[in-house]
Amino acid sequence: MTDPIEYKSQSFIGFLRRKVGHLHMGELLFSQWEAFVLWICDGLPGFPGMAMRFLAYKLLFKRLDGFAWVQPRVAFVQTDRLSVGRMFGVNSGTYINAIGGITIGNHVLIGSNVTISSGRHPIEGASPPVFARPAEPMPIVMEDDVWIGAGAVIMPGVTLRQGTVVGANAVVTKSTEAYSVMVGAPARKIRSRISTP
């Protein structure tokens, strides 16, 4: 096993080779193009800003079926692995990283300051440091009619079934049942949106 202290003395270039060396040149170039396009459109105010961001998302996303109502200051990463249906809304401060692939259905609403990341950092073993390890892709699926409240966290590998509501500041670590209302950290089902006769 390599001593973690050894990594302190290695160069920045050596670190980058370990961190992104598994990526193809096309993936690296796309990530830089993506960051530039999203930076240009990010802070534009009002409806003109929403329209410009929508055009950028049509260009960058793997799939976007309808208008995306996205507020300023929403961070997207790996948009080429993000598939989105119709009627998609996201509020400011949200971070969506599709490194492992994210599929979003129709009529999905995401509140402010939500974190959705489809990759996890492996932590087993003492070396190399977690910071130096590439993320492991774990896809996330959000089916139709999902609403995620402000400050929630959706962990890698989770499926939010149709009609799921995630309460503010909940941390969803497991896949949900259809039409469930999830709260807490870790999130648990408190009720169903469907009344039973």
Task: Let me know if 107 is a catalytic residue.
Answer: no
| Distance separating alpha carbons of residues 196 and 139, to the nearest angstrom | 32
Cα dihedral 108, 41, 60, 85, rounded to 10, equals 20
Q: Which of 22, 24, 107, 121 is flagged as catalytic?
A: 121
Name which of 17, 136, 121 is nearest 7 in CA terms.
17
DSSP run (H or E) holding 97: strand 95-97
- Using DSSP's 3-state secondary structure scheme, residue 108 falls into strand
Handedness of CA 92, 94, 97, 98 (dihedral sign): negative
- Output the CA angle 146-147-152, nearest 5 degrees: 120
116: which residues sit within 8 A by CB, 6+ positions away?
94, 95, 96, 97, 102, 110, 140, 148, 153, 154
Handedness of CA 135, 130, 36, 27 (dihedral sign): negative
Active-site residues, by number, are: 121
